[in-house]
Structure 1
Amino acid sequence: MGRSSGTLQKLFQCLADSEHQAELFQPGEALFWDDPHISRSMLAAHLNPEFDGASRMPGTIEKTIEHLISSQVLRPGDRVLDLGCGPGLYSRPLCQQGIQITGVDISQRSIDYARQNAEELGLNIDYICGDFFNLQYEETFDRVLQIYGEICTFSNNARNRLLQIIHQALKRDGLFIFDVSTRKLRRREGLRNRWYFSEGGFWREGRHIVLEEGYDYPQDDSWLNQYTVIDEGGSCKVYRIWFHDYSLQTISAVLQDNGFKVADVWNSLTGERYQEGGDWIAIVAQKA
């Protein structure tokens, strides 16, 4: 009885804590991208051709690569660092275009898949499982890629640290190619607030309950998707996914402060001409 009471008390406290709005970019559960079950679910999401919650759909990826090659933003023979490469959805076709790729991702499961896939296709791609913030390259790459708004997931301080790492990794006049989300996307998609029961799904293999909550931080153009997951065994975990939205003006100022200048801008990495008010901004930033 005492043990059951203690478990209920912990669950109650976990739920109570999750109802307090988190401090800006306060971390959640540490074991996330490499959680044995969640990483399997995430890989499946990356590879699902009809779902764009983890990676963009195959047609969009193909158009992105076609645009970056045809516009000569990426050129055969370039050394390219693909940050957040996942299972290699961009690295693989870029390598097939004669580009030398180093892909980095924090998920061991995604890296294992990417390595196996490259080996099966006879592609020489250097895949590294690791944290971006531990990279120590010195004027090694012609280009750095970070696609699907991943730079938006970092706090201002962490973002600036990453930009300095990228700046150091790039050769003179090298290019950083990336995209960011805007507040228009946030207003259109809205903030989630719901709960549901699952017999087994993305978060857990067995039965569990998920409380989804969305929080807006308009003073910093940031927002939080928070997931409180309670499983049948009495475990309660809080997962937080943060995003910082940008305008062309705000991201341009950030780049300038970190030693870059905007060389080109589109509404997306597939090459649509930039017009203010879109969901995304795609940028080519040159090392100044």
Structure 2
Amino acid sequence: MAQIGEIISQLIGLQQKPAPFTSGEPLFWDDPHISVHLLEAHLNPDIDAASRNPETIDRSVKWLVENLALKAGDSVLDLGCGPGLYTSRFARAGLQVTGVDYSHRSIEYATKFAAENNLNIAYRYQNYLELNDKNRYDVVLLIYGDFCPLNPEQRTTLLNNVYRALKPNGKFVLDVSTREHRKKHGNKNRWQALESGFWKPGPHLVLEEGFDYPEQSIWLDQYTVIEANGKMSVYRNWFQDYTPEAITNELAQNGFVVESLWGDLTGTLFTQESEWIGLVTYKK
């Protein structure tokens, strides 16, 4: 009973809004169990979960090759490349491609897929916050809102890393979410009891709660997972939303000029109802 009382006390505390970008469990993308389900989500063609669907990826790669006037031999770095859904397509277009991801499982899958399909892609297991490449790439990509979960200090570190990695006048391409995205999907407040699931291999309870920070355009998806032995884990997915002005200013403060701004990375025009902002920028 004492253990149950302690769990309830902890749960009461977890219902309070944490300070923005308070960390949760440190082992997430590379967790031995969770990474299996993440890879499945990446590869599922029927959902826009860990990755966008294949049709959207095809359109995005085609548009980027054309819009950036990429030609055979140009060097492209895909940060957060996952299982290589974009990198494989860019490689087939004749580009020199490097993929970086912080999931062993995704990198292993991508490396095997490249070998089986005779694609010359350099994959690295690495946290892109520790990227130290210098003057190597014509284009650096950060696709599907990977910029948004980072706290301000991490974003500055990443932008410095990208700036250093690009050749003079190199392009940095990214997309970020707007508040319209959260308006559409909403904050969740629900629970599930599972024999096995995304978070844990054995019986567990998942309590999901969303927190909105409208003054800072931040929102949080928090997952509290309680296992049968009473162990509690708290996973936090933070998201910084943007307006065109906010993301343009943040990029400018770190040496990037916005060349064009879109509603996504397939060439859709941006409107006030757009859930995403796609940006093509260049290094000053």
- The bucket for the TM-score relative to the shorter chain is over 0.9
- Residue aligning to 1:260: 256
User: Per the alignment, do residues 8 and 271 of structure 1 end up closer, same or farther by CA in structure 2, a change over 3 Å counting?
Assistant: same
Give me the whole-angstrom Cα distance separating, in 1, the residues matched to 2:159 and 2:271. 25
| Equivalent residue in structure 2 for 1:232, among 224, 228, 233 | 228
Give me the whole-angstrom Cα distance separating, in 1, the residues matched to 2:70 and 2:212. 36
- Residue aligning to 1:107: 103
Query: How far off is 1:18 after superposition?
Result: 1.8
- Bigger Cα displacement from structure 2, 275-284 vs 80-89: 275-284
| Structure 1: runs of 5+ lacking an equivalent | none
The AA in structure 1 aligned to 2:174 is: F
Matched, 1:213 2:244: no
Q: Percent identity?
A: 45
Give me the whole-angstrom Cα distance separating, in 2, the residues matched to 1:39 and 1:11. 27
- Residue aligning to 2:151: 155
Q: Deviation string for 1:220-248 (max 9, x for gaps)?
A: 11100000011122221000000000011
Query: How far off is 1:17 after superposition?
Result: 3.2
The AA in structure 2 aligned to 1:177 is: V
Matched, 1:285 2:281: yes
Matched, 1:28 2:24: yes
Matched, 1:194 2:185: no
Contact kept in structure 2, 1:265 and 1:281, CA below 8 Å: yes
Give me the whole-angstrom Cα distance separating, in 1, the residues matched to 2:69 and 2:241. 24
- Bigger Cα displacement from structure 2, 177-186 vs 230-239: 230-239
- Bigger Cα displacement from structure 2, 228-237 vs 209-218: 228-237
Give me the whole-angstrom Cα distance separating, in 1, the residues matched to 2:160 and 2:264. 24
Give me the whole-angstrom Cα distance separating, in 1, the residues matched to 2:97 and 2:3. 49
The AA in structure 2 aligned to 1:30 is: P
- Residue aligning to 2:177: 181
- Residue aligning to 1:38: 34
| Equivalent residue in structure 2 for 1:165, among 146, 153, 161 | 161
Total equivalences in the alignment: 284
- Residue aligning to 2:269: 273
| C-alpha RMSD of the superposition | 1.3
Query: How far off is 1:73 after superposition?
Result: 4.5
SS at match of 2:271: coil
TM-score by length of structure 2 reads 0.96
The AA in structure 2 aligned to 1:276 is: Q
The AA in structure 1 aligned to 2:200 is: R
Contact kept in structure 2, 1:152 and 1:245, CA below 8 Å: yes
Query: How far off is 1:6 after superposition?
Result: 5.9
The AA in structure 1 aligned to 2:252 is: Q
Query: How far off is 1:51 after superposition?
Result: 1.2
- Residue aligning to 2:68: 72
Give me the whole-angstrom Cα distance separating, in 2, the residues matched to 1:271 and 1:74. 16
Matched, 1:129 2:121: no
| Structure 2: runs of 5+ lacking an equivalent | none
Give me the whole-angstrom Cα distance separating, in 2, the residues matched to 1:240 and 1:177. 26
The AA in structure 2 aligned to 1:128 is: R
User: Per the alignment, do residues 159 and 247 of structure 1 end up closer, same or farther by CA in structure 2, a change over 3 Å counting?
Assistant: same
The AA in structure 1 aligned to 2:40 is: A
The AA in structure 1 aligned to 2:60 is: T
Contact kept in structure 2, 1:82 and 1:91, CA below 8 Å: yes
Contact kept in structure 2, 1:74 and 1:143, CA below 8 Å: no
Give me the whole-angstrom Cα distance separating, in 2, the residues matched to 1:264 and 1:244. 21
SS at match of 2:19: coil
